[in-house]
Structure 1
C-alpha cells in the first residue's frame, strides 16, 4: 500500500518516502503478522526435534548464514551442551532457563547476548512446564560433551532441512517454507 497519493504532514511539512530505486538483487522484506498468536496456538507449525523440544523458524537466511526461530521446550532438565561459532541473541517469551556455566537466569521478558566461541549447557528448571525463547543465531552450534568433544552440529542448513521434512510430512506447501528463506 502506497501513501504517495495522500501525503502525510508532520509539523506542517510533507513526509516524502525515499524516491530512488532500492539496491538491485536485494532480498525482499519479510513480515509475519501476529507471529506470537499464530505460532503459540498452532502446534503443527512447530518442527519437533524430540518429544519435548521443537522450534518454529521465522527466517532462514542461507545467504548470510543465520536463522531466527522460536524454541519451545516442554520438559525440565538439560537441553544441550553446545559451542557457538557466531553471536546469539535471545529474548525469553515464556518460562525461564539458564546455563550451568553461568550465574544468571534468563527469565520471561529477559534478553541475553551470547558471544562467538561460548560453550555452555542449557538447563530448564524443574518448575518450568514450558519455555519459549526467540533466538537469533549467527553461524551455528557444535554440540559437545562436557569435555568439548563434538557430538553434532546445527546451523541454518540443518534447520532448513528439518523444516522441509516436517512441512512435507504434515502437508504444508513448500511455498510456505520458501517465504521465510533468504
Structure 2
C-alpha cells in the first residue's frame, strides 16, 4: 500500500493551539502555529496584532498567501489596504513593512501560508533574524514548555 492511501482528512481546532508572543519582534503581536511542513518549508499560522502595530521590514525567500480575517493592514511600501476577506499574494523576493490600520476594530487577524525563509531587518537596515518552519516550531515548543502545555505535533500530516 502506498503512503498516500493511508493519509486521511484531518481537522485541527483553533482552540486546541495557543497564541504565542511573536518575540523578539513584538511584545503585543501573537502567532498561532497551525501546521509546519518541514518537507515543503511551509507554515500555516494565524497572526493577531493590535491596531497601530508596525512590524519589522522583511524579505520573502518564498511565497506567502495572507487572508485577512479581521481588522485592516497594509505595507508601508504599498498604497492598498487589506480588509476582511482580502487575499494578498506575496511573491518570492518581495520585501515590505507590515502596518495594522487604526479604526478597524481592536486587532488585525490574518491567516498566513508561508513558504521558505522570512529575513527580518533591524531599524539600521541590517539583517536581524531569519524565520522559517523550524523557528516557528521552536517558538511553539518553548512556549508550551514554559506554560506547562502538552504540545501537539504540528509537523504531523494527520490531525
TM-score interval, normalised by the smaller of the two chains = 0.7 to 0.9
Shift of 1:149: 2.5
CA distance in 2 between counterparts of 1:62 and 1:107 reads: 31
1:45 to 11, 15, 18: 18
CA distance in 2 between counterparts of 1:119 and 1:81 reads: 7
TM-score by length of 2: 0.85
Moved over 3 A (4+): 21-30, 145-148
CA distance in 2 between counterparts of 1:79 and 1:52 reads: 10
Asked if 2 retains the 8 angstrom alpha-carbon contact of 1:73 and 1:131, the reply is yes
TM-score by length of 1: 0.75
C-alpha RMSD of matched pairs (Å): 2.3
Matched, 1:59 2:35: yes
1:70 to 46, 50, 56: 46
1:154 to 125, 131, 136: 131
Q: Which has the larger radius of gyration?
A: 1
Shift of 1:132: 0.5
3-state SS, counterpart of residue 104 of structure 1: coil
- Extract unaligned runs of 5+ from structure 1: 1-20
Higher relative contact order (CA 8 A, sep 6+): 2
